């Protein structure tokens, strides 16, 4: 089970020195240092150098550090990897992943360098073909997480943005199921209207209820809401403790089930309760 928190996953354009500095003090569980869509073509070369230097000289603490390179089929991808490899990235986030072969190609390139011996791969789920191939992609070498690319998905599907995201539900759930099957992380797509706190909260709650580990974010103003929504509440933690205590007591009496708040508690509920406590503990460690 995934216990490292990924409640808030903040995109930072690799070209923006000020945002790169600022991020060292922001309460993000993870950062996506972006060289792809947030960086204009004329800035690609300077951004990758700035980012490699920044990652080598700055301390982002416990935050997970992902670098989103350009697709390896693009004119920038291979050089992004060359420059970023020197900074020993914790994970490379590969965009436009349509098939497992895209991940296998990157994995071979990482295998070929000692600096990237430990580097994990994350994949953007942002095309209909990628979504349909989600299971084989999730099972590919070095895979550690999916990031939903909902803007690209909506574009390719020709579907509309709606507050309930009904047109995107299958495209969200298929990669989510693949991620769960493979035991990797899955984080939801961005909420574009970054000044709309209520809309963001509603979408975070929807993603959380579906089973996502967290949400990708584009602006620091979105951090607190994602951190709050994707964390277990005090009430959930208290219930988890009571379920475990009641189940232990039932087991001691030789019984296989307990009842808490009028609801049955079985083995499987204890697994969920323990996960809730483990997540709460991991979040507490992260925020220490």
> Which spans of this chain sit near ligand COA (rule: CB under 6 A)?
10-13, 18-19, 22-23, 34, 37-38, 190, 194, 218-220
Rounded to whole angstroms, the Cα distance separating 210 from 148 reads: 13
Question: CB within 8 A of 66, min separation 6: which ones?
Answer: 9, 30, 31, 32, 33, 89, 90, 91, 92, 93, 122
Task: Give the shortest CB-253-to-ligand COA separation in angstroms.
Answer: 54
Angle (deg, nearest 10), helices 150-157 and 169-182: 130
Please list the alpha-helical segments (H only) found in 86-157: 100-111, 128-132, 134-138, 150-157
Q: Which residue number, 5 or 220, has a Cβ lying nearer to ligand COA?
A: 220
Among ligand COA, Mg ion, none, the one that 152 touches (CB under a kind-dependent 5 to 8 A) is Mg ion
Among ligand COA, Mg ion, none, the one that 34 touches (CB under a kind-dependent 5 to 8 A) is ligand COA
Among ligand COA, Mg ion, none, the one that 14 touches (CB under a kind-dependent 5 to 8 A) is none
Question: Which of 80, 90, 98, 152 touches Mg ion by CB under 5 A?
Answer: 152
Q: Is 149 in the site for Mg ion (CB under 5 A)?
A: yes
Q: Which residue number, 37 or 156, has a Cβ lying nearer to ligand COA?
A: 37
Rounded to whole angstroms, the Cα distance separating 238 from 74 reads: 50
Q: Which residue number, 19 or 153, has a Cβ lying nearer to ligand COA?
A: 19
**What are the beta bridge partners of residue 120?**
91
Residues that bind Mg ion (CB under 5 A): 126, 149, 152
């Amino acid at each position: 089970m995934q216990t490292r928190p990924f409640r808030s996953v903040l995109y930072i354009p690799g070209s923006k020195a000020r945002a790169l500095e600022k991020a060292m003090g922001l309460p993000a569980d993870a950062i996506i240092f972006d060289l792809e869509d947030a960086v204009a073509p004329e800035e690609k070369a300077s951004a990758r150098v700035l980012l490699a230097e920044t990652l080598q000289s700055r301390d982002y603490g416990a935050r997970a550090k992902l670098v989103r390179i350009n697709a390896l089929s693009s004119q920038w991808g291979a050089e992004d990897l060359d420059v970023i490899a020197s900074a020993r990235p914790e994970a490379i986030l590969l965009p436009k992943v349509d098939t497992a072969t895209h991940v296998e190609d990157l994995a071979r390139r990482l295998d070929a360098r000692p600096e990237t011996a430990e580097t994990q791969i994350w994949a953007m789920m942002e095309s209909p073909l990628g979504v349909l191939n989600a299971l084989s992609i999730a099972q590919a070498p070095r895979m550690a997480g999916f990031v939903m690319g909902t803007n690209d998905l909506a574009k390719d599907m020709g579907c509309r943005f709606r507050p309930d995201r009904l047109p995107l539900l299958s495209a969200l759930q298929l990669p989510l199921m693949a991620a769960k099957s493979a035991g990797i992380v899955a984080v939801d797509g961005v909420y574009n209207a970054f000044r709309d706190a209520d809309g963001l909260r509603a979408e975070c709650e929807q993603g959380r209820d579906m089973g996502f580990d967290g949400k990708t974010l584009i602006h620091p103003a979105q951090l607190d809401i994602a951190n709050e929504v994707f964390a277990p509440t005090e009430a959930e933690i208290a219930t988890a403790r009571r379920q475990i205590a009641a189940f232990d007591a039932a087991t001691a009496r030789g019984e296989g089930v307990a009842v808490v708040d009028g609801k049955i508690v079985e083995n499987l509920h204890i697994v969920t309760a323990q996960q809730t406590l483990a997540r709460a503990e991991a979040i507490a460690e992260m925020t220490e």
